Amino acid sequence: MYQTYLYCNVNFVCIETIVLASNNLNKLEEIQVLLGSQFSVIPQNVFDISPIEETGVNFEENALLKAKSVYDIIGRPVIADDSGLEVAVLDNQPGIYSRRFAGNNATDDDNIEKLLRKMHKIPLANRAARFRCVIAVLGARGVDQPVMFQGEWVGYIAEKRVGKNGFGYDPIFVDLESNRTAAELNAIEKNKISHRAKAIQSLKSYLLGDD
């Protein structure tokens, strides 16, 4: 028998709490929406855990590193997400450095501007890109070995920013099927097709025992 962390409200609806190995509120909000009301996702800083240094060489290593680091401290179900943008013509940059592409303290605007400069004069045919998301979960369903889930979103890099929604590189990432940037999509549209949505859908099935 393993320990779960459930809160049951006055209507006897039980919600499982799971810790996100991150303090990124944009990421937390998106994951919470994708997992739905059966789960309550809380950030690691609730337990006074500082950001985990991402020293892995790929998304998989970083997701595992973050999940294991937090799980070893709190001993309860943890999920860790490592995501990023890969641009084929740039040898898959920015990749694992997506969040700090323009420097450790870079803003989303800084990162976008750097990428647009690097893509200057590159023709549309060579602007292919994809978002990737890798999720590691530890401690759920009594399993103390990591279980991994992945998702990707294929598109290309726009020549300029378009749209007001989302965060990160959303204003310059164009969805291949709709030909709209991620920032032109509303949350409902994005959460049907994004890299994170695909990975979280698999994670949710696992957490609910539907796999």
Residues involved in catalysis: 82
Enclosing H/E stretch for 173? strand 173-175
Alpha helices in the chain (DSSP H): 25-35, 59-74, 108-118, 187-193, 195-207
Strand pairing of 6-8 and 93-94?
unpaired
How many other C-beta atoms are found inside a 10 Å radius of the C-beta of residue 77? 24
CA distance 52 to 50: 6
**Angle at which helices 195-207 and 25-35 cross, to 10°:** 50
